[in-house]
Structure 1
Amino acid sequence: MRRIVLTGDLLRPQDEAFKPAQTGNILWLHRLLRRPIAAATALEVQVLAWAPNPGSGAIPFDTPRFYGAAGATADIPGWIALFDAAVLPTDAAALLAQALDGAALVIGFELPNLLKRALTAFGIPWVDLNIHPYRFCADLLFAVQTTHPDIVAALRAHHAEDAAFAPQADLLAAMTVKVPIDPPIEEETLVVGQTRVDRSLIAEGRLLDLRDFAAPFHAAIGEGRILFKSHPYNPDGFGLHDIGLPLRRIRESGENAYVLMAQDSVRRVVGVSSSLVAEAAFFGKEGIFLGHPPFRIPASRAGFEPGMHASVVDAWLSADFWRDLLAPVVAVTPRDGVRPALPPNSLRNALRQFWGWEEMVLQLPVELAVTRAAERRALQGP
């Protein structure tokens, strides 16, 4: 029987243990999308995950066995080595093929490049959903990718152009005027750190950080002082202190990243592959990627090509969206014209991920900002 399979990064373990790190996200995606996809296709929508919870209805994938068949170590370094591997051993490919037998289509959440290549080799079309790097908006949105040319053509019509997001950036930038910073920001360059383990940092089987970009980093920052905002999950500097930059030229800040990015003095935002670099242009700043952007997102629909990511705000809620996308590869049901609407923050709250937005918008009134500034002055001393 033909079926649609929802899955994600089946291979990623937790940072410190060989346990499923992405199963929760895969099950989240299945609960989020199963109803409109089933309505659009009249096909069974199944979920494939590594070690799903009993009773979830998910089909388990034997990830430990896959690692063994792929000749990789069962840990984070093994995941990094496999994530973008160009060749998959026959036994490992057979395990994937068996798990996906009968799949007419795979819809994923943060699919690893290895799995995308395998699906293409199997002749199974795929659509990959990722949390979009524009996280300053009223809600999270999806960056959607596929390489199937007919699905690309359908997806292009649902791509929200960058101009649509500018007013939301202006609202957030205006709010920062009401958030005092003491002492004021004078630096022109904001450098942003990232998490220790980030899929966008994988290159040639290892993780990158600022140390891998010393020469372009120094060219980007010039001779002045920099403002450094570390990632809340990785406060160790992300390699900043190992690339020949004197400490006297570094001002580290614990302020909200959007507050910092909106400061009048800041002219540029520099990072390896951080989403904040992609957001910088909306705040009137130059964004400088030292590595590769996490996604290639065209500013307009006319520039959307296979392999790029489309900005999909909330169309994914409707069965008609999936009818449009999937009609080239499966039979779809008649359009119904129903377009559900959700209030702001619905996707952000459902995922339980906020990336600093909630601190800025929900938890940082002026009174709190003043209190925090006073506390910092007391800690710094006279």
Structure 2
Amino acid sequence: MANTIQFSNVFIASDILSTSMKEQDSNLRWLQDLFSRPLSNGSGVAVAVASRRWNDAFGFERERFFELSGMAVDLEETQIFFEASKVADASIDYFRQHFPPGSVIFGYELSAATREVIDRSGLTYIDMWLHPIRFLDDLLFAFNSNDHEFKERMSSFELPEELSYVYAGRLRVQMYRGKPRISNDLKPHSALYVGQTLKDKAIASDRGMLSLLNFCPEFDAAAQRYHHIYYSRHPFVKNGDEKTLSYARGFKNVSLTENPTYMLLASDEIEFVFTISSSVVTEAKYFGKETQYLFKPPVRIYSDDGYCSLLHNYLFSDFWRYVFSGGERPDARSINFIDGRNKVRDMLNWYWGFRQIDRLEGLYNNVSSLLARKG
């Protein structure tokens, strides 16, 4: 598509169909601040935002789209599931009307159904997801496109997978030799089950939002196979999962753990890591664990059909100029930060378990907490 159609516009979007407008607009603020300039410079065409809050001329209505297909969905839910195969041609026509021919939709965490709608509309997308590996010096993003040449050019900047093995190996040693060093009282021949939030695009399905209760046979099999299962509850979940917890506590060899995730992954006692769709299972591979997704990961990496793993280059105009037009490929080192450590992590305030493995971040967090208590 890239070589046959003159691109007319680039639209910066969140998931325009599966995600609530409140959540879309929250993401679009930082997306447009980061990407409007490099996408415009790189593509040579106008860049607009696919939201009426940020773009008065954008008239697309999610409610109308689903009405035209006779789908009853709760638009106030942060994430919804819908089957793209049930989207009527009238909805596709309505969607297409709001994007001029030749438009590229630069989308943040587009669901599979939304990507299929864009495909059926004859439009091009570039999809960006938060990368599942989060223990490197900064956060990565994962990119994909339905345009083969776009994908190929982006992939030429992919970070080597070897780095993930190297960093995981470093953490394994750090947990017993370095600092922070974690006290290990785990039982040998154990498994780790990784819990998730109760409502998320990664667990949305035609059965509703999935929970461990949808996978009781698989959990039961793990409990029989391993001496112990450590259940790691998602730190953001404080209530609403009582039935799931009651089920898990019904096993004599299952216990809840509050140990840091990376300490668990770095421990020899944990041999198997499983989850519905948490990115932790992708990370566990690099620590040498046996892994299982009970559902599916939202993003696959380092595979023929997977997303490419990019660090920082995507913030620069020359990167996008090459992606859109080809020509001479820029040196990846010339389109990077002077010092790339924690630039995205600090900017978005996305740390999760990183504070437990990084001495400076851990120190900063502890001092901040002490000052806050004194204040």
TM-score w.r.t. length of structure 2? 0.82
Post-superposition offset of 1:358: 2.6
1:375 match: none
1:318 match: 316
3-state secondary structure, aligned to 1:277: helix
3-state secondary structure, aligned to 1:26: helix
When residues 205 and 164 of structure 1 are mapped into structure 2, their CA distance, relative to the original with a 3 A threshold, is: same
- Counterparts of 1:155 and 1:6, CA distance in 2: 18
Matched-pair contact (CA < 8 Å) for 1:81–1:205: no
3-state secondary structure, aligned to 2:86: coil
Query: CA offsets, 1:278-302, max 9 Å, x none?
Result: 000222222221221222212xxxx
- Counterparts of 2:335 and 2:357, CA distance in 1: 30
- Counterparts of 1:279 and 1:113, CA distance in 2: 22
The answer on 1:264 being equivalent to 2:268 is yes
- Counterparts of 1:238 and 1:152, CA distance in 2: 43
3-state secondary structure, aligned to 1:138: coil
- Counterparts of 2:280 and 2:129, CA distance in 1: 16
Within a 5 Å distance, the mapping from 1:129-148 to structure 2 comes to: 129-148=128-147
Letter of the structure 1 residue corresponding to residue 335 of structure 2: R
Within a 5 Å distance, the mapping from 1:21-100 to structure 2 comes to: 21-49=23-51, 52=53, 59=58, 61-70=60-69, 71-75=71-75, 79-82=79-82, 84-100=83-99
3-state secondary structure, aligned to 1:248: coil
The answer on 1:120 being equivalent to 2:122 is no
2:369 match: none
- Counterparts of 2:206 and 2:192, CA distance in 1: 28
The answer on 1:350 being equivalent to 2:356 is no
- Counterparts of 1:323 and 1:297, CA distance in 2: 24
- Counterparts of 2:187 and 2:180, CA distance in 1: 16
Post-superposition offset of 1:78: 9.7
- Counterparts of 2:159 and 2:285, CA distance in 1: 16
1:287 match: 291
Matched-pair contact (CA < 8 Å) for 2:106–2:127: yes
Deviates more, 1:266-275 or 1:25-34: 25-34
2:336 match: 340
Matched-pair contact (CA < 8 Å) for 2:11–2:106: yes
When residues 162 and 208 of structure 1 are mapped into structure 2, their CA distance, relative to the original with a 3 A threshold, is: same
When residues 116 and 146 of structure 1 are mapped into structure 2, their CA distance, relative to the original with a 3 A threshold, is: same
- Counterparts of 1:238 and 1:36, CA distance in 2: 46
Letter of the structure 2 residue corresponding to residue 309 of structure 1: Y
Query: CA offsets, 1:232-274, max 9 Å, x none?
Result: 1224558644657634322211222112221221111111111
Post-superposition offset of 1:162: 1.4
Query: CA offsets, 1:136-182, max 9 Å, x none?
Result: 11111111111222223223322223112222223333333345656
Post-superposition offset of 1:323: 2.5
- Counterparts of 1:240 and 1:74, CA distance in 2: 24
Structure 1: gaps spanning 5 or more residues = 369-382
1:104 match: 103
When residues 113 and 293 of structure 1 are mapped into structure 2, their CA distance, relative to the original with a 3 A threshold, is: closer
The alignment-based identity, stated in percent, is 24
- Counterparts of 2:57 and 2:142, CA distance in 1: 25
2:235 match: 232
Deviates more, 1:61-70 or 1:27-36: 61-70
Letter of the structure 2 residue corresponding to residue 125 of structure 1: T
- Counterparts of 1:191 and 1:78, CA distance in 2: 25
Letter of the structure 2 residue corresponding to residue 93 of structure 1: I
2:219 match: 217
Give me the CA root mean square deviation. 3.1
3-state secondary structure, aligned to 1:356: helix
Structure 2: gaps spanning 5 or more residues = 1-6, 367-375
Letter of the structure 2 residue corresponding to residue 290 of structure 1: L
Number of equivalent positions: 350
When residues 214 and 242 of structure 1 are mapped into structure 2, their CA distance, relative to the original with a 3 A threshold, is: farther
3-state secondary structure, aligned to 2:36: helix
Letter of the structure 1 residue corresponding to residue 24 of structure 2: Q
When residues 176 and 22 of structure 1 are mapped into structure 2, their CA distance, relative to the original with a 3 A threshold, is: farther
